[in-house]
Amino acid sequence: MTDRIQLGDTIISLDFRGYLENFSLWSPQLMEWFAQQEEVELSRDQVQLINYIRDFFIENKVHPVVRIVAAHMVETLGKEQGTIKYFHTLFPKGVHQAYRIAGLPPVVLSV
């Protein structure tokens, strides 16, 4: 089962968990929509991390783990903000919340 939302002239499909079905349809407008759904008011730091998460996924074809995101945060935001604790102040529901806002597909665990 999928849900559909309309942003402007574009109809966008979400999977049953609320993740974007087509990664290429992501846009800053959709990022704002996802953030509203997640009850997150986006700051400059959050947008920067969302862009990093998207770039990492595009380049590596895998989701970045929080440890990798935190290492990037040290480089871009400084040592004091480069912590997992600070990451969780930005995304209180964790890394999966950031993935959803960034338009990444859900993590698929293999057994």
pLDDT in tens, 35-81: 999 999 999 999 999 999 999 999 999 999 988 888 888 888 888 88
**pLDDT at position 27, please?**
95
**pLDDT at position 110, please?**
63
85 C-beta neighbours (distance < 10 Å), count: 8
CATH code, 26-101: 1.10.10
Q: What is the DSSP letter of 109?
A: -
Helices 44-60 and 66-77, axial angle in degrees (round to 10) = 130
Measured distance between the N- and C-terminal CA atoms of the chain, rounded to whole angstroms: 24
Nearest to 98 by CA among 25, 19, 3: 19
Confidence of residue 34 (pLDDT cuts 50, 70, 90): very high
The mean of the pLDDT values for the chain is 91
In percent, the amount of the chain with pLDDT more than 90 equals: 70
Q: What share of the chain is helix, strand, coil (3-state, %, to 5)?
A: 50, 10, 40
